[in-house]
């Protein structure tokens, strides 16, 4: 598992209001309930560009990485945790030296990223990166939460849109961090 968390990496300004409105017009995504939505956003959106630049400055993305897409995610109050999954085909990613990545940008405090062993709690402007074959799940939320999810692709791995690979036989024993 390769998770990198960068505190206060992106100035999100007043983006929460704009993105929350957009997300609420989005479609439901896989979840035990219908309380999680997503909507695609433009790759040239200013916040997406700032996030990608922040990753470049921190030497997270390499020359063979590129921005593959971005979505805004919204979890309504009472949203349950997703099933454990990966965002890229694990058979195609596991042996790669340069892997595709997922990125979460917190637009508000108390944004969470859940792995089987650790729950990362993020605040507004924090940027979290994880390898495309890292097992994770969308967190449960008692209060509404809106955040961005970006895909940092590589040319050697094709990522079908809106596809995840479920991981069975995992028990949630994550610890807050």
Rounded to whole angstroms, the Cα distance separating 121 from 87 reads 20
pLDDT of residue 158: 83
User: In this structure, what token pair is assigned to residue 119?
Assistant: 């729950």
Instruction: Kindly tell me if the per-residue pLDDT of 176 is higher than 60.
Output: no
Residue 162 binned pLDDT confidence (cut-offs 50, 70, 90): confident
Instruction: Kindly tell me if the per-residue pLDDT of 49 is higher than 60.
Output: yes
Rounded to whole angstroms, the Cα distance separating 114 from 36 reads 15
- 78-125 confidence digits (pLDDT tens): 999 999 999 999 999 988 989 999 999 999 999 999 999 999 999 999
128-138 exposure pattern, b = at least 16 Cβ within 10 A, e = fewer: bbbbbbbbbbb
DSSP-assigned beta bridge partners for residue 103? 129, 150
pTM: 0.93
For the chain, what percent of residues have pLDDT higher than 70?
A: 94
User: In this structure, what token pair is assigned to residue 148?
Assistant: 């961005």
- 130-141 confidence digits (pLDDT tens): 999 999 999 999
- Do 13 and 2 meet the contact criterion of CB atoms below 8 Å apart? no
The Cα angle at residue 50 between residues 44 and 53, in degrees rounded to 5? 100
Q: Is the dihedral of CA 42, 153, 6, 176 positive or negative?
A: positive
User: Three-state SS across 68-133?
Assistant: EEEEEEEECCCECCCCCEECCCHHHHCCCCCCCEEEEEECCCCEEEECCCEEEEECCCCEEEEECC
pLDDT of residue 124: 98
pLDDT of residue 170: 64
Short-list 19, 52, 51, 66, CA closest to 38: 19
- How many other CB atoms sit within 10 Å of the CB of residue 105? 28
């Amino acid at each position: 598992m390769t998770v990198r968390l960068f505190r206060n990496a992106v100035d999100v300004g007043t983006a929460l209001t704009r993105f929350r409105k957009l997300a609420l017009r989005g479609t439901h995504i896989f979840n035990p309930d219908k309380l999680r939505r997503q909507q695609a956003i433009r790759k040239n959106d200013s916040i997406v560009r700032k996030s990608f630049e922040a990753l470049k400055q921190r030497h997270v993305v390499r020359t063979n990485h590129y921005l593959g897409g971005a979505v805004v995610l919204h979890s309504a109050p009472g949203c349950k945790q997703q099933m454990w999954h990966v965002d890229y085909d694990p058979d195609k990613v596991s042996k790669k030296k340069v892997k595709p990545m997922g990125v979460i940008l917190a637009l508000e405090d108390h944004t969470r990223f859940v792995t089987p062993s650790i729950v990362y709690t993020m605040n507004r402007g924090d940027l979290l990166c994880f390898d495309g074959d890292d097992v994770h799940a969308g967190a449960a939320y008692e209060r509404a939460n809106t955040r961005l999810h970006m895909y940092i692709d590589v040319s050697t791995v094709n990522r079908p849109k809106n596809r995840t690979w479920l991981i069975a036989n995992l028990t949630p024993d994550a610890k807050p961090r």
